[in-house]
């Protein structure tokens, strides 16, 4: 499985984990959840350890990614970035599997 985090996103995730005292072996859960205005929405969460059926990716910069089997089918090749604009800051998702999305940027359809 391929998931890419920009350098800015890796820095934000690492900083957040350090700031909140994440356990050794902790990682970023990247998930797809039913909902949102287009049918699916992305979820990001820091977790102490992967679940037994998760795919675990060890990325450059020491960031670990946990992906459950349901989400994996929608996340192949996704690129996650962290951007700051005049309207705010947050994670963005470029998903080659998404057929459409909405203005919020965190909801998509296949």
Residue 96 scores a pLDDT above 90: no
Torsion of CA 37, 96, 10, 39, to 10 degrees: 20
Full-model pTM: 0.84
Does domain 3-99 fall under CATH 2.60.300.12? My reply is yes
Residue 103 scores a pLDDT above 70: no
| Ranges of each domain in the chain | 3-99
E strand or H helix at 64: strand 64-67
Residue 57: per-residue pLDDT: 96
pLDDT single digits (tens) 33-84? 887 666 788 899 999 999 999 999 999 878 999 999 999 998 999 999 999 9
């Amino acid at each position: 499985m391929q998931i890419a985090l920009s350098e800015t996103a890796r820095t934000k995730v690492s900083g957040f984990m350090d700031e909140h005292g994440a356990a050794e072996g902790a990682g970023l859960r990247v998930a797809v959840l039913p909902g949102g205005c287009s049918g699916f929405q992305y979820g990001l969460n820091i977790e102490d350890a992967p679940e037994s059926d998760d795919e675990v990716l060890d990325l450059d910069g020491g960031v670990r990614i946990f992906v459950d089997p349901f989400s994996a089918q929608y996340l192949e090749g996704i690129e996650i970035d962290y951007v700051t604009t005049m309207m705010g800051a947050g994670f963005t998702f470029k998903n080659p599997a998404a057929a459409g999305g909405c203005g919020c940027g965190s909801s998509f359809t296949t």
